Amino acid sequence: MDKKKSSERRIARLLVATVGMFAFGFAMVPLYDAICDVTGLNGKTGGKYVAGERTEVKKDRLVSVQFLTNNNGSMPWEFRPVKRVVRVHPGEINSVSFFARNPVGREMTAQAIPSVSPGYAARYLHKTECFCFAQQRLAGGESVDMPLRFIIDSEIPDDITTLTLSYTLFDVSKNVENELASK
Per-residue model confidence (pLDDT) at position 138: 96
Please give the CATH superfamily to which domain 43-182 belongs: Ctag/Cox11 (2.60.370.10)
Mean pLDDT for 77-95 is: 96
How far, in Å, are 8, 15, 17, 19, 62 from residue 11 at the CA level?
A: 5, 6, 10, 12, 63
Higher-pLDDT residue of 104, 26? 104
Per-residue model confidence (pLDDT) at position 11: 87
Q: Is the pLDDT of residue 92 over 70?
A: yes
Tens of pLDDT, residue by residue over 152-172, are 999 999 999 999 999 999 999
Check whether the bond before 147 is cis (ω within 30° of 0). no
The whole-model pTM stands at 0.70
Distance between CA 22 and CA 173 in Å, rounded? 30
Distance between CA 65 and CA 159 in Å, rounded? 14
Tens of pLDDT, residue by residue over 93-136, are 999 999 999 999 999 999 999 999 998 899 999 999 999 999 99
Q: Is the pLDDT of residue 1 over 50?
A: yes
Q: Is the pLDDT of residue 43 over 60?
A: no
Distance between CA 123 and CA 156 in Å, rounded? 9
